Amino acid sequence: MHVVDAADSDYVFLARELWRYRELAWVFAARDLKVRYRQAVIGIAWAVLQPLVMMGLFLLFTRWSGKTPSQHANTYALSCYIGLLIWQMFSYTVRESTTSLVGHRDLVTKVYFPRLLLPLSTVICALVDFGFALLVLGPLLWWSGVLPGAAVIMFPLGIMLGMLAAIAVGIWLSALNALYRDIGYIVPFLLQIGLFVTPVLYETRAVVPENWQWLWALNPLVGSIEWCRWSLLPAGGTAGPTFVMLGLSILMTGLLLISGLWYFRRAEQWIADRI
């Protein structure tokens, strides 16, 4: 007789419930987008302006300093913009996921639905912003005279890795913040630090010594960002992540995601009472 493990059956049930209530995730995402851009003069264009302005500022800074934290100075603006796109998707998802359960306190305590839908729905909003900001990348590549090669088909894999990293961290923090409100105050500070320990405004191989790159790769976003750069900027000679760098990023993402799901399911038993 085949015996089904209780933990396995629990996750199968969760998957079925998420699929059953999948339309609710779109409702949450649509509501958050409307609230976010309500009465905004230029609306969702802010999703494009933020990475463009930051790219411009850091491009000016590197020109003035005479030092470019990139393997090739002529593609630094593109490299920086790609890093900012992934970081913007990650930081928005993490920030909004952290407060998703607390922000929907009335629903969590009174109505049944898979609580995991709340942090997961923030990814939809982040991807909408990401999509609009990505539209600008084509003209930027054309203006810079960079023509992506066949590796461009691998670009979605880098996005997927970054998205999974954002989901993994967001699930952890949403459960922790529901139980310990200090997390909500710590996350913005951690994201500020994260911007500098993640190769957003620089390339790992151009700045980090080779014998320390494995440590940098424990950051799950390293593999995602460097993979996206390699897939879009082969004409500029941008080297992709090493097998060690990519492998460690994937491993850390997997560990965070699995442990995050486990902790969320465990904390879900007490969330309604303590939120």
Query: pLDDT (tens digit, 0 to 9) for every residue of the chain, 275 residues total?
Result: 344 455 556 778 888 888 899 898 899 998 888 887 776 667 678 888 888 998 988 888 887 776 777 777 678 889 999 999 999 999 999 999 999 999 888 888 888 888 999 999 999 999 999 999 999 998 988 888 888 888 889 999 999 999 999 999 999 999 999 988 889 899 999 999 999 899 998 888 888 888 888 888 899 999 999 999 999 886 545 567 788 889 999 999 999 999 999 999 888 888 777 77
Backbone angles phi, psi at 66, to 5 degrees: 80, 5
- Structurally, the chain folds into a number of domains equal to 1
DSSP string covering 220-235, please? Answer: HHHHHHHHHHHHH-GG
- Helix %, strand %, coil % of the chain (to 5): 80, 0, 20
Return the sign of the alpha-carbon dihedral for residues 266, 269, 273, 275.
Answer: positive
Q: How far is 93 from 115, CA to CA, in rounded Å?
A: 16
For tokens 């590197």, the residue is 62
Q: How far is 47 from 232, CA to CA, in rounded Å?
A: 21
Domain-embedded: residue 1: no
Q: How far is 100 from 113, CA to CA, in rounded Å?
A: 14
Domain-embedded: residue 263: yes
What is each CA distance from 16 to 57, 113, 122, in whole angstroms?
47, 12, 20
Domain-embedded: residue 270: yes
Q: Which two tokens stand for residue 270?
A: 């007490």
Domain-embedded: residue 216: yes
Domain-embedded: residue 126: yes
Question: Which ranges in 3-154 belong to alpha helices (H)?
Answer: 6-20, 22-37, 46-65, 76-103, 105-110, 117-135, 137-144
Domain that holds residue 264: 6-274
